Amino acid sequence: MQIKSRKLKNVTSVFWNSQNSSLVLLDQRVLPWDIKFNEYHSVKDVSEAIKNMVVRGAPAIGVTAAYAMVLSTIQALTKFKQQEKRIEFLKMSYQTLISSRPTAVDLENFAKIVLEEAINTNLSVEKVLNRAHSLRTQVIEECKKIGIEGEKIIKNGETILTHCNAGAPATVDYGTALAPIYVAHSKQKKIRVIVDETRPRLQGARITAWELYESGIEHLIITDNSASFLMSKGEIDKIIVGADRCLQDGTIANKIGTLSLAISAKYFGIDFYVALPWSTIDQSGTKASKIAIEKRDEEEVKFVTSKEQRILISNEKSSALNYAFDVTPAKLIKGYITSKGVLTLEQLKKVIKKIKKE
């Protein structure tokens, strides 16, 4: 994405440093106050970065996992002489990665692709790295297409609500839910974006609002609990969100709070769309009740972090529940914004079946 307020022409959230064979991640924990990049040389450290949300957003985590498997390949070749030991190390690295954040399926999908590439090429670092590069390019190009297809449903003068951050930092570049908004803005459509804060880590208030500001797009931050009231007043025309996992029946897992928005949208007759790349499709046949929903540390709820300090906002001895994701059934979703168009549920199912056969 373009950063207009700083001396940076272009910022992407995940990339490979070929000079020292390291993975570089934009530290999303310090946005919007600082633009900071961290370098990683081991799967263990990358796994911690994923857990601690240095990197976040399903596609960005997926690309991160792909490059982490490159680091694992390099480590395996350095540590072990026997091929059997090397492959065992790679498989352990894969397990470490997929346990980092279990809900987002892109992580598992991309890590598996690069693991298989490593095994099939006798741990050729060049080929494994090229495979990771190709996955990164795939995500960027697909997000561009999501923007082009999604813009078609945005009318001039509309107000669109989005949840969490499904923009450039979450997807390497461009975004999923924000991509159609960027394209609409580039076509001079007058639009306004409602950004809910997205407690407890405030990805909406911190990251989405910053991203929209940098892009010159009119926006307004709201508290999470005011979204339904705005819908009731007729102040929201559409809702577009991203997804961390999409099942074959169209059910999605996404940032906690998505389900509440979808229910309210259905009640008030507001179209609710999900924007997603194909890497977010869970091809395993998982049922909605079996999705692993991540629970995070209760201190994320009890404390708020600003640029300068971390402040306790609750009674210190009280307990807090902190689900990171919820599950939204397909019957609440108007359509799926993909690189192949804005699809109905039945159209989505047909494409998923076709991809599975390939």
Task: Please give the positions annotated as active site.
Answer: 244
CA 356, CA 341: separation in Å to the nearest integer? 18
From 246, 209, 243, select the one nearest 349 (Cα to Cα): 246
Instruction: Tell whether omega for the bond before 200 is within 30 degrees of 0, i.e. cis.
Output: yes
Q: What are phi and psi of 246, to 5 degrees?
A: -125, 120
| Burial (CB count within 10 angstroms: exposed 0-12, middle 13-18, buried 19+), residue 110 | buried
138/130 Cα distance (integer angstroms): 12
* Measured CA distances, 123 to 14, 97, 117 (Å): 23, 18, 8
CA distance 92 to 68: 12
**What are phi and psi for residue 327, nearest 5 degrees?**
-120, 125
Cα 195 to Cα 208: distance, rounded to the nearest angstrom: 7
Q: Are strands 219-222 and 238-241 parallel, antiparallel or unpaired?
A: unpaired
Q: What does the longest C-alpha to C-alpha distance in the chain come to?
A: 67
